[in-house]
Amino acid sequence: MHNNNIPAPSKDFIREIIDQHNKSKRFDGRVHTRFPPEPNGYLHIGHAKSIALNSGIAAEYGGKFNLRFDDTNPSKEEVEYVESIIADVRWLGADWEDRLDLKGILLPDPSG
């Protein structure tokens, strides 16, 4: 038996805030999200959730998504982790276009 009186699921608080901002034109309709990993280890399921949420909201609202590495602990950063994170974020379907920010990340010179 189908009940047409079941309310539609409500939006989560993040989308509700974005909708309010868009309605008030607070940010001129722009939606810009980011994922700021620290390259001191491999990603875990919590990171995947954040990537999906942030890149998904950007796509849903016609916005932009940035991949911006944080450098809060430079002594533990490694190229292996940077490369792994980039590959994993790409594998999860996030598109940062030309907005990959490696500022502050100390990577070896690729020219040797």
Digit-coded pLDDT (tens) for 28-67 = 999 999 999 989 899 999 999 999 999 999 999 999 999 9
Q: Does the pLDDT of residue 73 top 80, yes or no? A: no
Supply the pLDDT for residue 7.
76
User: Quick one: 69 exposed, middle or buried, by C-beta within 10 A (0-12, 13-18, 19+)?
Assistant: buried
pLDDT for 68: 93
Report the b/e string of 6-21 with b at 16+ CB within 10 A: eeeeeeeeeeeebeee
Q: Which of 112, 30, 103, 24 is nearest to 69 (CA)?
A: 103
84-103 pLDDT, tens digit per residue, is: 999 999 999 999 999 999 87
Backbone dihedral angles phi then psi of residue 14, each to the nearest 5 degrees: -65, -50
Residue with the bigger pLDDT between 57 and 2: it is: 57
Torsion of CA 14, 16, 18, 19, to 10 degrees: 160
Domains annotated on the chain, with CATH: 39-106 (3.40.50.620)
pLDDT at 6: 79
DSSP label of 41: S
Q: Is the pLDDT of residue 110 over 90?
A: no
pTM of the model: 0.80
E strand intervals along 1-112: 32-35, 64-68, 100-101
